[in-house]
Amino acid sequence: MDSQLSYVLFFAFFLVFLSSSPAPADARASPLLRSVCKQTRDSFHQNYTECVKTLWSDARIQSSASNDLKDVAISVLEIAAETATDTQELFNSYLQMETGTKAIQQCAQSYGSVASAFQGTLEGVKEEDDMVSNMASRIVDSIVVCEKALSSDGVELPQTISNRVHLVRLYKDIGCTVTSQLVSIWLRARKH
């Protein structure tokens, strides 16, 4: 009898544990966010789970993600611009410690351009400008300039900066996904 009671208590505690543990981000994320992340995965080979977790971790995106793609795009681009600005500041701080490495200086400038490109794209989305889909080339060009400078100078970034650079790339890919979807919607609506 004692073993049956132990089994019942174990099972009860297990059920309580499962019900109190947080659901995976994918289970909580809206269908719209899951769709955006699936498209980002398919188009840019980004990690789906990382995409969902990254988006769902921000309250602005959670509140806009119910079913409005434009609101999601605006939130994503705001966060992307902030993240690029933070990355620029990290490069500037690192530049202070590294006694003026040209590659680091180039990256700080490049990420300033990335932040500006995200901000310009954000304004384009707000105005429903079809040209927002061109943002990717400006952002990619600036990121590539930084990467080439780092490579040619043989600079290896600290993990904190490397993680931020990775996050900017993720936001760039998500931003490209949502803006291209929006442009398609706008173009279809204008034809009718």
pLDDT in tens, 134-178: 877 789 999 999 999 999 999 989 999 999 999 999 999 999 999
Q: Which domains does the chain have, with CATH numbers?
A: 28-191 (1.20.140.40)
- The pLDDT assigned to 118 comes to 96
Token pair 């291209």 is found at 180
pTM of the predicted protein model: 0.83
List pLDDT tens digits, range 77-124.
Answer: 999 999 999 999 999 999 888 766 899 999 999 999 999 999 999 999
pLDDT higher at 23 or 192: 192
Res 135: pLDDT: 77
Q: Are 33 and 72 in contact (CB under 8 A)?
A: yes
Cβ-Cβ contacts under 8 Å for 139 (sequence gap 6 or more): 114, 117, 118, 172, 175
pLDDT for the residue numbered 43 = 96
- In the chain, % of residues over pLDDT 90: 67
Question: Residue 76 phi/psi, 5° resolution?
Answer: -60, -45
Span 71-84, pLDDT tens digits: 999 999 999 999 99
CA 68 to centroid of chain Cα atoms:
18
Q: Which two tokens stand for residue 190?
A: 């204008």
Structure tokens at 109: 């400038």
Rounded percentage of the chain residues whose pLDDT exceeds 70:
83
